[in-house]
Structure 1
């Protein structure tokens, strides 16, 4: 049996090439792409029960399916090239991607999902560990690792973050699964166009050896998945919006209107005020809950400024809108600042409202202003928790992470690797049961995590399965 330090054993490693030769021209990196050159490759994957056929058949199937999928995503089999003017491109030159077959047959599914904290061996289910995206000049832009467990398999991907964001990542992963289970016609064709405001003539100047990671990656951390059922999320949303729930757990607007004795002549104004579409969202409510609880756990003085960062999708915010399946990065980070005193002295609604206002204000003009400011000072994104008072929310519970059937059923769980993790890094996943349930992958210092786990306001909404 492998030691705890090396829970996974390499069985084989090879290069997979696209099923057909690419005819794509070079794709210029956008402003959003260039920002990510200093961060790690994305590492996300899915845990499955063991397939009803031998592992050798599975490996052959996935190699062939990956080759076919790469033919539909040619940039992933390419490499970065910087021209004489300093512009960075993806050369769709078919150099291929890494495919790793690994073994950890002493590890069971229960060992992955059954403990309170995410076990360290999960980090070994991913290739290209702690590889910085700039390395795409010299390394594959994509690597896939299939790890055989005692009663399951884990399919993990590492993708260069300057090539794609979460929206593009899960479109690729979903397509990979579709091809593997025999779907003949692609249902979600990526859009590779490069003609938006995100494509800039400004040059990002970098050191010869590339940019450096901006956070410390070896500090003691705890990583835990907190689950929130649909019913729990509904309760939280109702509390945030000061609403009552009906017997089905939905916000009862009619009852609320009746109790307020709304004047029929004022009905339009009042219903606009309490229309659920105008309310603070479930996800913003959850973010506010976490912001308050972590701020309490960190035991800051009231004057300490705290920051909650949220990554937002700009595809629908730009005018004209980008294709929802635009391939690449189309995200920007929205910081919301408030003193610890304000976060904790106001109620949940106030905190959620600060987040809500910032998200609503992030429109076409804001996106364009961000690009203009970047062009004046081109730089990579400073990822990290620099003052000890930051929370950074990534990923999204809207991503179709469980819509991945490679031929024998949906995933048991979704997990991520070591990439881009630091004190205060949070990732949101959909819950496996769907219906609006959410899982939060929370990374905190051990003492802060202990405080979060004993926080009554936070833990009353956490669902234990």
Structure 2
């Protein structure tokens, strides 16, 4: 953590749902996808705002707490805690959410003696940003004793940062941003004194996916968490935000599709191909060294029948393609883009169900240090989420940032660009020597607008 400048915690409290839904009195069961996440870290994403003219920060904090209590009525599992059932013979470890025996979601107010410009103008994301989030280095299993959701509001000299830490066993990035958006929607309704703040435009679908003939309580073949929980420490990394304008993205997509003689390769697949090739080149990999590229894929629409598009939970997997470094760099950009496109196009409902069946036969837990091979690229998050739609009465956010969680050499997170219109920002994490080489890569830097 960064020692200078420092973030000072001023107050901490818990927020419970404004009203207690009847269904929250029962155990809330998790799906196989959720179980697989039990040893990875919390999702940590947040928005930086210019400080509005306020009567006082206390007023903003009160409104944020009030609207959070209403949002939690719809997302009541986030106010709970994890609970476990274990047996020794046979070995069995089951996890569910206890929504009753919990003080609620965390809410922290902090201050930092720094300006918005300090965050915005720094070439690399300052380490102090990690202090804008609660549950630093926590893994999801810690949700037995820690809140499943924690909000930290950090007041800067001229800004406000709202950082959310959400237990990844409770949901994926799609679910995380559904909650963030819903909370913002409730806040805006309360600001305009609408009395329908308990009605959401897109309420979450909370019932977890349980494969037919199984559950509702799944079990892992262990008797103690020490057998399957691994903490993860990221290496020393440089983290930088690279911005790509909507015009650049449009031209890149057109160029890639023209090279390939097709119209089916998406903007994001085209950009992924660029970053995969350029990071491989920055690493100066031997020509016979395999390098993989993975993308996070939402399976909601790939199920048959599809899951509800408002499904709250994990419904996520990573799609992998790979090549020898030599062929990746000797072939043109279209070749790499087609590899990425094929990985996405071939991801069918049959493949999703195969993965579920595999887990049911032999349950597994993701561990970051084993999940991704060295010298790989992992494209996380998504530019499709309406992240800048979360305003909280302060206008559009200035920028997005993330916490310590899930960062390793080759981790790339994709965000919508602030300008909208199809622009994309990439948060790239690399060890210092590879970042320096990427910044000297003409193909890559010619596309970067900032």
CA distance in 1, matches of 2:214, 2:174: 22
Counterpart Cα distance in 1 of 2:291 and 2:214: 32
The 3-state SS of whatever aligns with 2:414 is strand
Structure 1 counterpart of 2:409, from 423, 428, 440: 423
Match of 1:103 among 111, 118, 123: 111
Tell me if structure 2 keeps the 8 A contact 1:108–1:149. Answer: yes
Which residue in 2 is equivalent to 1:314? 299
Q: In the alignment, which residue of structure 2 is the partner of 1:49?
A: 50
Give 1:375's aligned residue.
Answer: 360
Deviates more, 1:157-166 or 1:48-57: 48-57
Judge conservation of contact 2:44–2:163 (CA < 8 Å) in 1: yes
- 1:216 positional shift: 3.6
What is the match of residue 74 of structure 1? 76
Counterpart in the other structure of 1:451: 437
Computing the radius of gyration from Cα coordinates, the structure with the larger value is: 1
Structure 1 range deviating more: 207-216 or 170-179: 207-216
- Count of aligned residue pairs for this structure pair: 430
How far did residue 372 of structure 1 move?
1.4
Taking a change above 3 Å as real, the CA distance of residues 77 and 198 of structure 1, as seen in their structure-2 partners, is farther
- Residue 207 of structure 1: how far off its partner (Å): 6.0
- What are the ranges of 5 or more consecutive residues in structure 1 without an aligned counterpart? 245-272
| CA shift for structure 1 position 214 | 6.5
2:27 aligned residue? 26
Structure 2 partner of 1:351? 336
Does structure 1 residue 332 correspond to structure 2 residue 317?
yes
Q: Alignment partner for residue 197 of structure 1, among 208, 211, 227?
A: 211
Counterpart in the other structure of 2:229: 212
TM superposition score normalised by structure 1 = 0.88
Q: Provide the C-alpha distance between the structure 1 equivalents of 2:369 and 2:232, rounded to a whole number of angstroms.
A: 5
Corresponding residue of 1:293: 278
In the alignment, the residues of structure 2 paired with residue 7 and residue 199 of structure 1 have an alpha-carbon distance, to the nearest angstrom, of 52
Residue 164 of structure 1 aligns with which residue? 171
> Are residues 1:388 and 2:374 paired?
yes
Please tell me whether the aligned partners of residues 30 and 199 of structure 1 are also in contact (alpha carbons under 8 angstroms).
no
Distance 1:415 1:52 in 2: 23
- Residue 431 of structure 1 and its aligned partner are, at CA, apart by 0.3
RMSD: 2.0
3-state SS, counterpart of residue 107 of structure 1: coil
- The 5 A counterparts of 1:255-274 are 274=262
Alpha-carbon separation, structure 1, partners of 2:70 and 2:201: 14
1:52 CA displacement:
2.0
CA separation in 1, counterparts of 2:79 and 2:376? Answer: 36
Equivalence for 1:136: 143
> Which residue in 2 is equivalent to 1:188?
202
Q: Which of these residues, 407, 410, 419, is aligned with residue 393 of structure 2?
A: 407
Q: Distance in 2 between matches of 1:162 and 1:198?
A: 21
- Structure 1 residues 215 and 348: CA distance shift in structure 2, 3 A: farther
Partner Cα separation in structure 2 for residue 380 and residue 426 of structure 1: 22
Q: CA deviation at 1:39?
A: 0.7
Which consecutive aligned stretches of 4+ in structure 1 deviate over 3 angstroms post-superposition? 3-6, 195-202, 209-216, 384-387
| CA shift digits 1:216-270 (9 cap, x unpaired) | 42x21100000000001012112211269xxxxxxxxxxxxxxxxxxxxxxxxxx
* 1:212 Cα deviation from its structure 2 partner: 3.3
Aligned partner (choices 177, 202, 225) of residue 241 of structure 2: 225
Counterpart for residue 283 of structure 1: 268
Query: Normalising by structure 2, what TM-score?
Result: 0.91
Measured in 2, the distance between the counterparts of 1:460 and 1:111 equals 26
Does the 8 Å contact 2:133/2:403 carry over to 1? yes
